[in-house]
Structure 1
Amino acid sequence: MNTRQQYLLKELISEQKPITGDQLAKMIQVTSRTIRNDLKEIDRLLTTEDAGASIHSVRGQGYQLDVHNEDKFKYFIRTVVEIDETVPVEPEDRVQYLVKKFLLSSEYLKIDQLADELFVSRSTLQNDLKDVKVILEKYQLQLAKRPNYGLKLTGKEKQIRYAISELLLRRTTVTTDEPHQQGWLLPAEQMEVIHAIVLKRLKAVQLNLSDIALNNLVVHIAIACRRIRSEQYVELVNQDEADIRNKKEYQVAQLIIEDIEKALDITFPTVEISYVAMHLLGTKLFLNKNGTDMRNSFDKEILLTVQQMVQRVEEQMQFGILDDQELHAAIAIHLKPAIHRYKHHMNIRNPMLEAIKVNYPIAFEAGVIASQVIEEAFKIEVDENEIGYIALHFGAAIERAKLQTKPKRCLIVCTTGLGSSQLLLYKMRAKFGNQLTIIGATELHNLSQYDEDTIDFIVSTVPLPDTIQIPHVVISTLLGGSELAKIEEMVDSNTHSIIDRYLDQELVYLNLDLKTPQQVIEFLGQELMNKGYAKAGIIESVMAREKAASTSYGNLVAIPHPLEAKSDRTFWTLATLAEPIDWQGHPVQFVCLLHVADENKEGLEPMYKSLIRFVDDRHIIEEVLAVNDVNSVMKIIKKM
């Protein structure tokens, strides 16, 4: 079973309902015929191996995996699938395999031997090597060629280690319970030993690391061990690194290394101790001090930068977090080692990045805005991994601000008697709890007795006169599911319909024949300017935002948007593409260009909730991609 077929099997495992061949073809950008052939081969293998499962074709709906023996199927996955993964089939997997091979080898590797190992021709391998060289050049590494010997990785040792950490570990998450997962780096028992030693020494001096930071440090030490055994040593390149020896972190690193030397029978040169100390300095350390002492431990430049980060986010997004001292302290703690990492070109991995982008888009936008301040202050380029961590701090602050927000005040208008109005009142209290303050229930003719300033919105069982300016929604006393959704929108945003408010039919474009993200952004930006929706500069602003962090979120969807407002209104622009395009590593066929105006940022969260709920629904996206007229698109979206 090749890599593509394994991907198809994983998709079928994760689907509760049948999925069409066209859907699968779009996900991995192959033809429907290839999908049919692959699925036949997978089904044949499941039958041959007695795997306890089979693939069924459901007429008119697609393909579905039927598992009738869980134990047999799990055994099949553990044995057949994992064993075959060792020999990559697809070009991108071969490139990853070759990158790993060169990074972990200190010897020359012959092209013919590599071709035989991968079961490909010499010419195919040479094509793959072109991509390998491009990847390695990003880390200032090269492949040196020597006649009759082959190819060998060359470059500074520190860059090789950074590349190992970034390129080989970014696809996996090491947890405190499972450091052995990196067994290809060192034997599992040695990874366990390093993990235990680091944890013991850090606890002895009361330095507490997050789980991710702890395991990043363990992995870096493991990389050092492997490289030292190949007699590859890191070098100090400037006085700043030499000064590390005067810091407390150097003493901790020295104790860690002494223990590892004894346990693993390996000798670390002095320079390697400095290398480990650098990673301690570049790791988020929570000192056991009170808040006042912690603030005093930061220099004024860090504190000023944090203040500017929070101010800029508040100016653009209006969260009410300007005076959140917990936020200021958290970012300061994060920022100090982050600046050190960037100063020494040390990478950081964020295994939660995609989840943060999809599930906390507002906080991620705050992270993007805040990262611009860091770039301006320290003349560095902040990557997506760092932005994701910064976003978590802003997400926590946003939630704290919500706790201080007063609940919406609602008045119930009911004409069918006290019993009906009380039933409605109790139903709403049970549903919304402290999200909503119900100030009472009244008849329509007594509505004038209430002060408009004390009411945020009205829930009524009868239509209200046009003279009523207070936001309101009309429902039945029974309060069904769709009516609850209407009230939820009122609780969140005081609007009747998120879709009607933010999406105009004239801003829906279908089946565009565009090939790159830049072409899509330029087309939509020009359309918005031509129709008077946005001012000049929107294209450049959207491209600048895309450069900061990709807005492709999976599920064939991208949501590009400008860094700053280019209009006085908030709106969506929808576009479908004739074929999926590559959007910074993700296939994209559905694009929503989002514009948020300055003056209505208070409606940002419910709008984002509706948008994310919409684009995260694979079946809705597939429906939209399948139609050719705007009216059908609007019906599908509103049906959501």
Structure 2
Amino acid sequence: MEQAIANLNQQELKIIQLILNSGVIHYSDIERSIGRSRKTISKYLDNVESALKQYDVQVIRKRNVGVYLEGNTTELTKALQYDGYVNTPRTSEGRVTAILSKLLLSDQPQTIQALAEMTFVSRSTLETDFKAVKRILAKYSALIETTHAGMRLIASESAKRKLMSELLTMYWGNTKYMKNENGEVHSKLQLPTDIQSFFGKATFAKVIQVLDEFEQEGTLRFTDYEFQSLAIHLIISMERISKDAILEPGLSKVKLEANTQRLVGILERVFQVKIPGDEQQYLNIHILAAEGQAISDDKLVETASPFQQNSIRRFLKDHCDTYDDALLQGLTVHLTSALKRLYLGLNLHNPYTADVKRFFPRAFNEAIDLSAKIEHHFNVTLNEDEVAYVALHLEAFLERQKSMVRAVIVCSTGLGTARLLEQRVKTYFSDSIQISRVTSIQDLKHHPISEDLVISTINFDVPDIPVVIVSPFLDVSSVKRLKAVEKQIVSQRQPANSFMRLLSPELIHIATGKEQRDDVINRIGQRLAKLGYGRDSIGQAAIKREQLASTAMDTVAVPHAPIEYVLKPCISVYINADGIDWHGTTVNIVFFLAMNKQIKAEIEPIYQYFNDVLEDKKLLHQLIGSQTANQAMMILGSESDE
């Protein structure tokens, strides 16, 4: 069947690729891409239509809609790939990667039209992709300079290195493992076809050869991430060196590791070039990370406290309000590696960041708070992708807590009796009650109760928290009383009520005209301060927090106020159908969450309802069209009626 497209010319093949990548395309898009008249394009489409009949694919040309394909295009795509017609990215993420690569690797200005032709999509499709590129660049204070000749990347050498690190991690997961003739397993880096065209094939093959030789002759073994990170770094670097694009001085000179010197020697022999001193310093960073050595003055100019597991675990216990052993263990292992990697300037791309923000808003925002504490304590900044990785650990913990009643055991008859009571509660209520701690009356003076329930052998009262008096041996009557109170606590958790109680018409603002993120947050903050919900600087505090990691997702942003700035818990809603520029993302709805300890017991149902709101696309669309605050209230409350 490949013969069906073999007779098509390059322009006709290009039209097929444009339609496959864009879904629906217009004559004007085709005209700009292939530079032919409408009459010629119509003739090309006739030929394409005839050829594609053999693949059971129809070319549909519909007025006011555009040109698109109907039918299963799997066989058509295979035929194109088989004959080598396709070497372009098929997804938005792939095009973003390709654009970023082109800007980083090319010294020549790039035009939107040229990039559109390179990726076989319409100009309008590429302009949408370019917004994602700009968001990535903004994270590293990099800019795109536009002149009559086209666009050029403007960034410091340090920023370019971080961008390259971001780029290389977009290929994570493409390493294959194979056995050679001696039965030894070795790794083989697989770059997507859409990126291989930007590197010389010889460079690609030689880098893999160098790394294979380096591992075979030495004792240092790379993890999957370390291998891929170093491989793509070398591919990029050797391309630059071969073009005499020598690095600007970026790092102070430090003594090279023995493994670094050995790697440099292999590179110089295989590539027949001299590796510049600054490039050797960057290679040394990769080797330091792979060796896992503690950071010291003779290895890096600036030093930080060693990131040891015991110190990170202590930090987490001191700064996490609630946790279990699984959370402590998971975060400790993750942060031990991540903090060292970030300190060495090696960033890790997280393909799930957008999904984490969309589906786990509570975990993501708690991760932002924890990341701010990490930055203050360890002097290492976590970017948005790293915050999302932390959020995944927190979400797993929150999932373990769902529908569980958190309880504290208060006992005065000794630790042994208290531990027996704890074990009895776990036996009878393993799926419904979680014991967070065992304590005494005296200890409660220093560590107030934040749990849902108090189980006590002592008769005492706690304001607003149920206390169940039991025997140390948890007899039958004690079990019955506990079951009744536990069910009552769970029944009172009504997501809609908890969420809607934090809303009021005075907290909803509907605006028009294009606006900027900081202006909107300040406007909300001023309103909350005036109404007595927050301190005067609540808006500025929320902006600072938003700078750590953006809470924007699709058309919605969910900034949070730090707890110390909240006087009375509430949710403020800001709606602008014309759009708010949220640091590169356009949003239409802002949910400003001002939470404090007064609603700690209701946090789970509040976020449960909030998740339902965020996932209801129809509701969000209706909310954007709200004309009054009362109308917005009614729309938000309608989720509970579903």
TM-score, with structure 1 as normaliser: 0.60
Deviation at 1:175, TM superposition (A): 2.6
- Are the counterparts in 2 of residues 614 and 637 from structure 1 also a CA contact under 8 Å? yes
CA distance in 2, matches of 1:4, 1:528: 50
Deviation at 1:551, TM superposition (A): 0.9
User: Are positions 1:9 and 2:23 aligned together?
Assistant: yes
User: Are positions 1:217 and 2:198 aligned together?
Assistant: no
Q: Describe how 1:470-489 pairs up with structure 2 within 5 A.
A: 470-471=488-489, 473=491
* SS at 1:592 equivalent: strand
Deviation at 1:225, TM superposition (A): 1.0
Deviation at 1:259, TM superposition (A): 4.6
CA distance in 2, matches of 1:244, 1:228: 22
Q: 1:259 to 1:174 in 2, by over 3 A?
A: farther
Partner AA of 1:597 in structure 2: N
Question: Pick from 60, 69, 76: which aligns with 2:72?
Answer: 69
Q: 1:538 to 1:198 in 2, by over 3 A?
A: same
Question: Pick from 180, 204, 214: which aligns with 2:191?
Answer: 180
Q: Describe how 1:590-605 pairs up with structure 2 within 5 A.
A: 590-605=589-604
- Are the counterparts in 2 of residues 538 and 566 from structure 1 also a CA contact under 8 Å? yes
Deviation at 1:213, TM superposition (A): 4.1
- Are the counterparts in 2 of residues 542 and 562 from structure 1 also a CA contact under 8 Å? yes
Q: 1:54 to 1:100 in 2, by over 3 A?
A: same
Question: Pick from 483, 490, 514: which aligns with 1:455?
Answer: 483
* SS at 2:344 equivalent: helix
- Are the counterparts in 2 of residues 234 and 271 from structure 1 also a CA contact under 8 Å? yes
- Are the counterparts in 2 of residues 512 and 578 from structure 1 also a CA contact under 8 Å? yes
Deviations 1:127-161 (A, max 9, x none): x9xx99x979967899899xxx9999898766654
Partner AA of 2:316 in structure 1: V
Deviations 1:326-351 (A, max 9, x none): 5335423322332232xxxx655333
* SS at 2:191 equivalent: helix
CA distance in 2, matches of 1:497, 1:259: 67
Q: Describe how 1:381-392 pairs up with structure 2 within 5 A.
A: 381-392=381-392
Q: 1:225 to 1:407 in 2, by over 3 A?
A: same
CA distance in 1, matches of 2:614, 2:150: 49
* SS at 2:507 equivalent: strand
Deviation at 1:382, TM superposition (A): 4.0
Partner AA of 1:334 in structure 2: A
CA distance in 1, matches of 2:576, 2:150: 44
CA distance in 2, matches of 1:94, 1:255: 37
User: Are positions 1:318 and 2:346 aligned together?
Assistant: no
Q: 1:356 to 1:95 in 2, by over 3 A?
A: closer
- Are the counterparts in 2 of residues 505 and 634 from structure 1 also a CA contact under 8 Å? no
TM-score, with structure 2 as normaliser: 0.60
Q: Describe how 1:189-228 pairs up with structure 2 within 5 A.
A: 190-191=203-204, 194-195=207-208, 198=211, 201=214, 211-228=224-241
CA distance in 2, matches of 1:608, 1:575: 18
CA distance in 2, matches of 1:83, 1:579: 39
Q: 1:602 to 1:261 in 2, by over 3 A?
A: farther
Deviation at 1:454, TM superposition (A): 0.4
Counterpart position of 1:552: 552
- Are the counterparts in 1 of residues 365 and 560 from structure 2 also a CA contact under 8 Å? no
Structure 1: any 5+ residue segments left out of the alignment?
12-39, 119-127, 288-297, 409-432, 438-448, 460-469, 474-489
Question: Pick from 285, 296, 312: which aligns with 1:278?
Answer: 285
Q: Say what the alpha-carbon RMSD is for the aligned residues.
A: 5.8
Counterpart position of 1:611: 610
Counterpart position of 2:242: 229
Counterpart position of 1:466: none
Question: Pick from 255, 259, 264: which aligns with 1:252?
Answer: 259
Deviation at 1:546, TM superposition (A): 1.2
CA distance in 2, matches of 1:117, 1:71: 23
- Are the counterparts in 1 of residues 405 and 490 from structure 2 also a CA contact under 8 Å? no
- Are the counterparts in 2 of residues 236 and 271 from structure 1 also a CA contact under 8 Å? yes
Question: Pick from 328, 335, 339: which aligns with 1:335?
Answer: 339
Identity level (%): 18
CA distance in 1, matches of 2:168, 2:24: 22
Deviation at 1:573, TM superposition (A): 2.4
- Are the counterparts in 2 of residues 357 and 388 from structure 1 also a CA contact under 8 Å? yes
Counterpart position of 1:357: 357
Q: 1:79 to 1:263 in 2, by over 3 A?
A: same
CA distance in 2, matches of 1:622, 1:233: 51
Counterpart position of 2:524: 524
CA distance in 1, matches of 2:485, 2:589: 35
- Are the counterparts in 2 of residues 623 and 636 from structure 1 also a CA contact under 8 Å? no
- Are the counterparts in 2 of residues 46 and 52 from structure 1 also a CA contact under 8 Å? no
Deviations 1:58-107 (A, max 9, x none): xxxx9999853343564699799x97979xxx9xx99998975564345x
CA distance in 1, matches of 2:384, 2:70: 39
Structure 2: any 5+ residue segments left out of the alignment?
1-14, 26-41, 119-129, 177-188, 294-302, 408-428, 434-476
* SS at 1:324 equivalent: helix
Counterpart position of 1:243: 254
Deviation at 1:299, TM superposition (A): 8.3
Q: 1:527 to 1:272 in 2, by over 3 A?
A: closer
CA distance in 2, matches of 1:583, 1:209: 39
Deviation at 1:589, TM superposition (A): 1.1
CA distance in 2, matches of 1:456, 1:377: 44
